[in-house]
Amino acid sequence: MEMLIPLSAILLPAIIIGIVFHYRSKNKREILETVRVAAQGGTELTPEIIRALGVKDRRRGSEIRSGIIWIAVALACIVFGWSIGQYEEEAFRAFIGFAAFPGLIGLALIGIGVFMGDTSDDAG
C-alpha cells in the first residue's frame, strides 16, 4: 500500500498525457481521412477549407512558449522535491534528476525557437 501513492504520482500524469495524445492522434486521422475523401472527389482544398477542418497554423514563437512551460514544469518538480526533501533527504536529489528531463526539453525548444526562428513561408 505504501508503494501505491508514489506509483500513482508517476503513473497518473503518464496516463493523462497518453489519453491526450491518443485523442489528438485520432482527430488528426479523421481530418486526414476527410481531406483524402475530398481530394478523391475532386474538391479543391482552399486554405479556408483547411482552416475550417481545424488544422491550425503554427504561431510565431510557439517553440519558445512551449520551452518556457517545460522549464516551469522542471522548476515545479525541483520546488516539490525541495519541500519533500525537508523530511526525506534522498527525495530532493531524485526530483532534481526527474526535473532534468522537462528542463532539457524546454532548453532544446527554446534553442530551436531562438536559433532556427520562424521558417514558415509567409514570414516577412
Q: Are residues 69 and 89 in the same domain?
A: yes
Q: Give the residue numbers spanning the domain of 65.
A: 58-117
Count of structural domains within the chain = 2
Confidence class for position 119, pLDDT limits 50, 70, 90: low
Q: Are residues 27 and 49 in the same domain?
A: yes
Cα 79 to Cα 11, 14, 30, 71: the distances in Å are 20, 20, 41, 12
Q: Are residues 28 and 41 in the same domain?
A: yes
Q: Are residues 2 and 49 in the same domain?
A: yes
Do the Cβ atoms of 77 and 41 come closer than 8 Å? no
Q: Are residues 79 and 45 in the same domain?
A: no
Residue 3, domain member (yes or no) = yes
Residue 26, domain member (yes or no) = yes
Q: Are residues 97 and 107 in the same domain?
A: yes
Cα 75 to Cα 18, 22, 101, 106: the distances in Å are 23, 27, 11, 11
35-47 per-position pLDDT tens digit:
888 888 887 877 7
Q: Is 10 a residue whose pLDDT tops 60?
A: yes
What's the DSSP call for residue 46? -
Confidence class for position 123, pLDDT limits 50, 70, 90: very low
Query: Which residue do the cell numbers 478523391 mark?
Result: 40
Do the Cβ atoms of 114 and 64 come closer than 8 Å? yes
Do the Cβ atoms of 74 and 99 come closer than 8 Å? yes
Residue 28, domain member (yes or no) = yes
Q: Are residues 78 and 52 in the same domain?
A: no
- Give CB contacts under 8 A, 24+ apart, made by 2-8: none
